Structure formats: C-alpha cells, structure tokens
C-alpha cells in the first residue's frame, strides 16, 4: 500500500500523540537476512510519520527471552514454521498465556483473545486439511485485519539450486535437509 505521511500524522494527533511519540523498536540481530537493515527502514518510516524512533538490534539468544517477558516497547521479529502452519507464531506469540494448553509461551504483550485461543486449539485438533486451513485463515484475519495485534511486513523467500537430476521439497522453516531431496524423473 502507498504511504500517506499526512494521514499517519493526523491519526497520531487524533490518538492524542500530536505532541510527539517516541519509541524504541527492538528486533533481532543476525537472525534473518538483513534484519538490522529492516529495523532501520521501519524506524525511518515511523520517523517520517512523526514518531521519534530508536532501534535496538539484539542477538536472538537475548531477544526471545525479552520477547517472552514483555521487555520491549515495540518488537520486530520473524518466525519460521516447520510444517508451514501458523501455530508457531499465533499460538506462542499471540495465544493467551496458558502452559497447560501450550499457548502464549512468547506472549510478552499480554494480548489475550478467547476467540483466537479457540481457533488455535480447534485447528490443532483438526485432522482434515481444508477445515484446519480455514481455521488458520480465520485466526490470521482476526489478528491481522480485525484487531491488528500483528502487522506482517514481509515474507522471506528461500532459494535452492541443484543439479537437474535432483528434486527438492522446500520446507516451511527454510531448512535444507537431505531427507527432503529425491531423484527427479528424467
């Protein structure tokens, strides 16, 4: 979508932040390609909208415990999921903290929505692919469009190159494992 800096400033004014808003944007350092450059780019866009922004790149070993403990003003992070289903981020980061149900282990924001929790637990218990996919889509709509609990900025693409006689099944977590390679038909 196009940027509308004037509208952004107007919305900040309407929200009571017309005199200025200052934030620290915390994110990973050296976890994903160009993650520190992405932090800087987001900070520059926020500054153009009138938000004084400092960036704080943090090594993953320190960042994720801080994320889980809610020790940040705003956070920018990425997530990879092995099976390609969103539970790793929806359940861990946005699920209501509930160890018994395996939800919210990294929810440092305090975000809690019983509807999201039901969607997650129902999807995890659903074996039928189309139904489970529909539940994940509904959960994503809830947190991204309806409540804006999460703002996706980009999706990283992974590339593989191999000899013609080798095929490969790409994984959702971007790992390259020999078990996912196969002899391609000639």
Give pLDDT tens digits along the chain (186 positions). 567 888 988 988 998 988 878 999 999 999 888 899 999 999 999 998 889 999 999 999 999 999 888 899 899 887 777 666 788 789 989 999 999 999 999 898 899 999 999 999 999 999 999 999 999 999 999 999 999 998 888 877 778 888 999 999 888 777 888 999 999 987
Under 8 Å between Cβ of 184 and 165: yes
Any bridge partners for residue 52, and if so which?
A: 22
Under 8 Å between Cβ of 117 and 123: no
Give residue 153's pLDDT: 82
Indicate if 49 and 117 belong to the same structural domain: no
Give residue 1's pLDDT: 56
Give residue 82's pLDDT: 64
Give residue 83's pLDDT: 65
Count of domains for the chain: 3
SS3 165: coil
Determine the structural domain holding residue 180 and report its residue range. Answer: 158-186
Distance (Å) of CA 93 to CA 49, 61, 138, 143 = 27, 17, 17, 11
Of 66, 35, 63, 39, the residue nearest 53 (C-alpha): 39
* Domain-ending residue, one of 78, 111, 134: 78
What is the Cα–Cα distance from 168 to 161, expressed in whole angstroms? 9
Any bridge partners for residue 21, and if so which?
A: 51
Indicate if 11 and 73 belong to the same structural domain: yes
Indicate if 104 and 45 belong to the same structural domain: no
| pTM (two decimals) | 0.77
Indicate if 84 and 151 belong to the same structural domain: yes
Indicate if 22 and 90 belong to the same structural domain: no
* Domain-ending residue, one of 29, 60, 78: 78
């Amino acid at each position: 979508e196009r940027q509308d800096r004037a509208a952004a400033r107007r919305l900040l004014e309407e929200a009571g932040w017309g005199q200025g808003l200052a934030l620290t944007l915390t994110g990973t350092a050296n976890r994903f390609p160009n993650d520190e450059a992405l932090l800087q780019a987001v900070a520059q866009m926020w500054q153009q909208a009138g938000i004084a922004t400092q960036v704080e790149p943090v090594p993953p070993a320190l960042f994720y415990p801080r994320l889980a403990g809610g020790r940040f003003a705003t956070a920018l992070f990425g997530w990879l999921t092995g099976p390609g289903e969103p539970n790793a981020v929806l359940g861990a980061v946005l699920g209501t903290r509930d160890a018994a149900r395996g939800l919210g282990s990294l929810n440092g924001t305090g975000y809690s929505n019983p509807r999201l929790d039901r969607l997650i637990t129902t999807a995890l218990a659903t074996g039928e692919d189309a139904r489970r996919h529909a539940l994940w889509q509904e959960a994503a709509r809830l947190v991204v469009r309806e409540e804006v609990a999460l703002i996706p900025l980009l999706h990283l693409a992974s590339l593989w190159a191999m000899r013609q006689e080798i095929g490969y099944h790409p994984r959702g977590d971007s790992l390259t494992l020999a078990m996912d390679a196969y002899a391609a038909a000639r």
